[in-house]
Structure formats: C-alpha cells, structure tokens
Amino acid sequence: MRLFGYWRSTTAYRVRIALNLKQLEYESVPVNLVSGEQKLPDYAALNPSRAVPTLVTDDGTALTQSMAILDWLEETRPEPALLPRDATLRARVRAAAFGIATDVHPVNNLRIVERLKAMGHTQDDVVAWMNHWMELGFATFSDLVEDGSAFCFGDAPGLADLCLVPQLYNARRWNMNLTPFPRLTEIEARCLALRAFDAARPERQADAA
Amino acid sequence: MRLFGYWRSTTAYRVRIALNLKQLEYESVPVNLVSGEQKLPDYAALNPSRAVPTLVTDDGTALTQSMAILDWLEETRPEPALLPRDATLRARVRAAAFGIATDVHPVNNLRIVERLKAMGHTQDDVVAWMNHWMELGFATFSDLVEDGSAFCFGDAPGLADLCLVPQLYNARRWNMNLTPFPRLTEIEARCLALRAFDAARPERQADAA
C-alpha cells in the first residue's frame, strides 16, 4: 500500500498510526501541501478533494477521507481492533473521534487558515481562531472519554486515541495551553510511548522540514 | 427512541432520513439552536458537544454525533442497508459522505457563522464563505458519485444521499447557484420523491418556523 500524506497533516497522522497499530507495511509518498502539490492534476485525479491522505491499496484503488480509510482498515484488517465490539460502546468511541474529526480539524485546516488570511485576518487572529475550536473540542472530548482507563476507552488504543494524539500535536504547534486537559495529555503520553504512535509522529516522517 | 434535533440542522436531517429509511419510529424533541437551548445544562449533560442531533435509545443511552449515530443505526438495524457490502465500495460511499460531513458542514454551521460575525464580518461575507465551501464540496462530491445510477451509488438511497440532500437544502437556503451540479440535483429530486426523505424535510418538522 502507498499512503499519500504530509508530515504535519493531522489526518494523514491518524492513518499512519492505524497502519502501524495493525502492523501493515506501507510506502509513504509525501504531498507538499504548502507548495500546493495536492492541486496538481495527477494528484487531483487520485483524490478529487485535493487533500491528504490518500491510501492506494494493493490492487491500485485510491481511498480518500481519513475517517473512511480508518473504517476500511478496520473492516479489512480487523485485528487489533480500533473499535470495541458492542454497538453502543462503538458509538461512544466514534462520537469522541468525530468530535475531533468533524468539530475541530475541519475548521482549523490549511485551507481555512488561508481563507481567513485572504479575508484580512492576521496570523494572531488565525491562531486565536484555531485555539478557540480546539479548546471547545478538547473540553467536549474530555467529557466523553472513559474515567480512569489507560487510553481513551479501555486498556488499548483505538479510534478516539488516534484522532486525539494528532490534534494535540497541532495544539502544541500553535502554543495552546493544555494544562486544563490533564486527562488528555496523560493519554497522549501513554500513546506516544507505543512504537505505533511514535513512528507515526510528524517529525519522524521523511518530508519533515 | 427520541431524537433531539432542530428543523434546519442538516445533521439532524440526516438522522431523520435514516430513521425513516429503516422504518424506525421515534419521538422528535426540538432544541432551538437559535435561542441557545443546546447550551442549557440539562441538554449539555445529554450531549457535551452542545449540538444536535442526540438520539436517546430505548434503553436511555444518549448517542451523539450524526455520523456515529448513522453507523450505530446501520450496525443495529442493518436493513435496508445504508452501505454496500463490499469493503471497497463502502469506503467509496463513506468518502463521498465525509466530503460533506467533514469538509462542508462543519465550516458552515451556526457557531462558525456566529464567530465570523463576531470577528466583524457582514452577512454577505458569511454567505460568500458558506457558498465557497459548498461549491468546492459539491464539485468533489460530483467527481465521487457513480455515473448514471439512480442514487449516488446504485439503485437505492444510502449514506451519501442522506448527507447530500440536507446539504443541498442548506445551499438553497443561502441562494447558491446549483446549475453547475445537475447530477446532484437530479439525485436530490429522486430522493425527495421518496416518503423517507420527504417526511424528514425541515419544513415538515413540528418546530419549523
């Protein structure tokens, strides 16, 4: 499999963690979002949303949208599981994951930042914007995770953890104060101590600048 | 089951369609987003993200995040299916659905509009902002749907259709020009001719103003 990604993309980071947790080998193909490589015709033909990640499977199928890719991985490579078996628990884990995947990441990504700047906003305005949505999102996420478990839900990392850790990376990048969220940073530390998470870190990627 | 929603919420609209397609009875509980009822303590205890929809199941469990609720419905009430059986096709349908659920809706919802206005933007600026993301999202969505099928994928409505139709409602609300997307408006017309979609329309809800 080939994963088209970008070192700092939090959505590509999610998929890297999942591939590592499921011990799947893949080739990493960097797409430089800052220079606009995602808009080049060859890449846009692969991924009409002109975004990362794209996972090209062994039979050449291009899968897009990180949350759809994660579902596909879970369905085709079920072990180790990213979701519990019980339907209600699955819904709880997914709700936490979507709290980041729909309520935080989409309003903070590069194209939104570029649009706000084109509307006359400064870098400080944009950082305040990003931190505002992360604060709300992390507060909600803190309410949703299980109490006292090693990871977000239970004693193994799963879908919620692999959405959380990349978003916390982004929070640190923009100097957000994370002291109100000790439960989340504890889970983060436990995740990053695992090889699957550590190897997926942005700074460990070949295209890290 | 009880569905806490708001007539104009496109995410509640998705869940109403799914409940109708699966022929599940539910009680509708309106939450007035404009007057801020979603922020009241009783509701926030049910849904920490202070958003709609929330589906309270027969055993009293509160499920949040529309995409997680849709997965739960699909897993617990599999017929009629919202997703195909083949894993690669499922990933394609999900990618289209997430194109709306992550790339369009979150950047256009009420709290974003309120934030932009608080940053000094006019109603015209905000409408231009919303239409910009819808144009990009609908263009991508058009590239992803199947060619020539009755619905987005195949001959029955599914997850992609029930994300598309509410977002097109929102596009019309903001007077977006939909003529560049004839395939999508054709699918929309075919969906709205079905009772499950028609009964879920915003204007058919008890709280429609």
For A103, A106, A108, A175, B149, the CA distances from A130, given in Å and listed in that order, are: 11, 10, 5, 11, 40
Q: Is residue A60 part of a domain?
A: yes
Residues B113 and B180 in one domain: yes
Residues B117 and B149 in one domain: yes
Q: Is residue A207 part of a domain?
A: no
CATH of the domain at B159: 1.20.1050.10
Q: Report pLDDT digits (tens) over A73-90.
A: 999 999 999 999 999 999
Helix (H) or strand (E) holding A55: strand A54-56
Q: In what order do the strands lie in the sheet with B27-30?
A: B27-30, B2-5, B54-56, B62-64
Tokens of A25: 């080998």
Which pLDDT belongs to residue B161?
A: 98
Which pLDDT belongs to residue B22?
A: 98
Q: Taking CB atoms and an 8 Å limit, are A71 and B94 in contact across chains?
A: yes
Choose the closest CB to A99 out of B49, B75, B90. B49
Between CA B5 and CA B27 the distance in angstroms is 10
Residues A50 and A70 in one domain: yes
Residues A49 and A96 in one domain: no
Q: Taking CB atoms and an 8 Å limit, are A107 and B102 in contact across chains?
A: no
Q: Taking CB atoms and an 8 Å limit, are A140 and B48 in contact across chains?
A: yes
Choose the closest CB to A67 out of B49, B98, B107. B98
How many domains, chain B? Answer: 2
Q: Taking CB atoms and an 8 Å limit, are A119 and B125 in contact across chains?
A: yes
Tally the residues of chain B: 209
Which pLDDT belongs to residue B48?
A: 95
Residues B76 and B128 in one domain: no
Q: Taking CB atoms and an 8 Å limit, are A102 and B107 in contact across chains?
A: no
Q: Report pLDDT digits (tens) over A11-62.
A: 999 999 999 999 999 999 999 999 999 999 999 999 999 999 999 999 999 9
CA–CA min distance B174, chain A (Å): 19
Which pLDDT belongs to residue B68?
A: 98
Q: Which residues pair with B55 in a beta bridge?
A: B3, B63
Closest listed residue to residue B124, CA positions, set B133, B113, B115: B113
Choose the closest CB to B87 out of A75, A105, A115. A75
Residues B66 and B98 in one domain: no
B interface test, pick of A1, A10, A64, A183 with most B CB neighbours within 10 Å: A64
Q: Is residue B209 part of a domain?
A: no
Chain B residues in contact with A119 (beta carbon < 8 A) = 121, 125, 129
Query: What's at B35, amino acid-wise?
Result: S
Between helix A123-144 and helix A182-192 the angle, nearest 10°, is 90
Between CA A72 and CA B50 the distance in angstroms is 30
Exposure b/e, A25-42, CB count within 10 A at least 16 = b? ebeebbbebeeebbeeee
CA–CA min distance A163, chain B (Å): 14
Q: Is residue B137 part of a domain?
A: yes
Which pLDDT belongs to residue B82?
A: 98
Q: In what order do the strands lie in the sheet with A54-56?
A: A27-30, A2-5, A54-56, A62-64
Q: Taking CB atoms and an 8 Å limit, are B88 and A115 in contact across chains?
A: no
Q: Does the model's pTM come out above 0.95?
A: yes
Asked whether the beta carbons of B1 and B58 are under 8 A apart, the reply is yes
Choose the closest CB to B140 out of A49, A72, A101. A49
Range of the structural domain that residue A116 is part of: 87-196
Identify residues of B whose CB sits under 8 angstroms from chain A CBs: 48-51, 57, 61, 63-65, 67-69, 71-72, 75-76, 87-88, 90-92, 94-95, 97-99, 101-103, 105-107, 112, 115, 119, 121, 125, 129, 132, 139-140, 143-144
Residues B26 and B114 in one domain: no
Residues B98 and B190 in one domain: yes
Phi, psi (degrees; rounded to nearest 5) at B64: -125, 170
Phi, psi (degrees; rounded to nearest 5) at A5: -150, -170
Query: What's at A166, amino acid-wise?
Result: P
Residues B100 and B160 in one domain: yes
Q: Which residues of chain B have pLDDT under 70?
A: none
**Which of A23, A55, A80 is the last residue before a domain boundary?**
A80
Which pLDDT belongs to residue B49?
A: 95
Please, which pLDDT band fits residue A133 given cuts at 50, 70 and 90?
Answer: very high
Choose the closest CB to B68 out of A57, A98, A121. A98
Q: Is residue B122 part of a domain?
A: yes
Which pLDDT belongs to residue B50?
A: 96
CATH of the domain at B22: 3.40.30.10
Q: Which residues pair with A29 in a beta bridge?
A: A4
Residues B7 and B63 in one domain: yes
Residues B103 and B179 in one domain: yes
Q: Does the interface predicted TM-score (ipTM) exceed 0.85?
A: yes
For chains A and B, CB pairs below 8 A equal 108
Which pLDDT belongs to residue A57?
A: 97
Tokens of B135: 């144009």
Which pLDDT belongs to residue A56?
A: 98
Residues A134 and A161 in one domain: yes
Q: Is residue A209 part of a domain?
A: no
Q: Is residue A63 part of a domain?
A: yes
**Which of A55, A80, A105 is the last residue before a domain boundary?**
A80
Output the furthest CA–CA distance in chain A (Å, rounded): 48
Q: Is residue A201 part of a domain?
A: no
For A114, B106, B109, B166, B199, the CA distances from B101, given in Å and listed in that order, are: 21, 7, 11, 11, 22
Which pLDDT belongs to residue B18?
A: 98
Tokens of B36: 């801020």
Chain B residues in contact with A102 (beta carbon < 8 A) = 65, 67, 101-102, 105-106
CA–CA min distance B134, chain A (Å): 12
Q: Taking CB atoms and an 8 Å limit, are B94 and A140 in contact across chains?
A: no
Between CA B55 and CA A172 the distance in angstroms is 34
Between CA A203 and CA A206 the distance in angstroms is 8
Identify residues of A whose CB sits under 8 angstroms from chain B CBs: 48-51, 57, 61, 63-65, 67-69, 71-72, 75-76, 87-88, 90-92, 94-95, 97-99, 101-103, 105-107, 112, 115, 119, 121, 125, 129, 132, 139-140, 143-144
Which pLDDT belongs to residue A99?
A: 98
Q: What is the arithmetic mean of pLDDT over A122-140?
A: 97
- Residue B52's SS3 state is coil
- In which residue are the tokens 């993309």 written? A9
Which pLDDT belongs to residue A94?
A: 98
Task: Please report which residue ranges of chain A form alpha helices under DSSP H.
Answer: 10-21, 41-46, 66-76, 87-101, 105-108, 110-118, 123-144, 159-173, 182-192, 195-198
Q: What is the arithmetic mean of pLDDT over A132-136?
A: 98
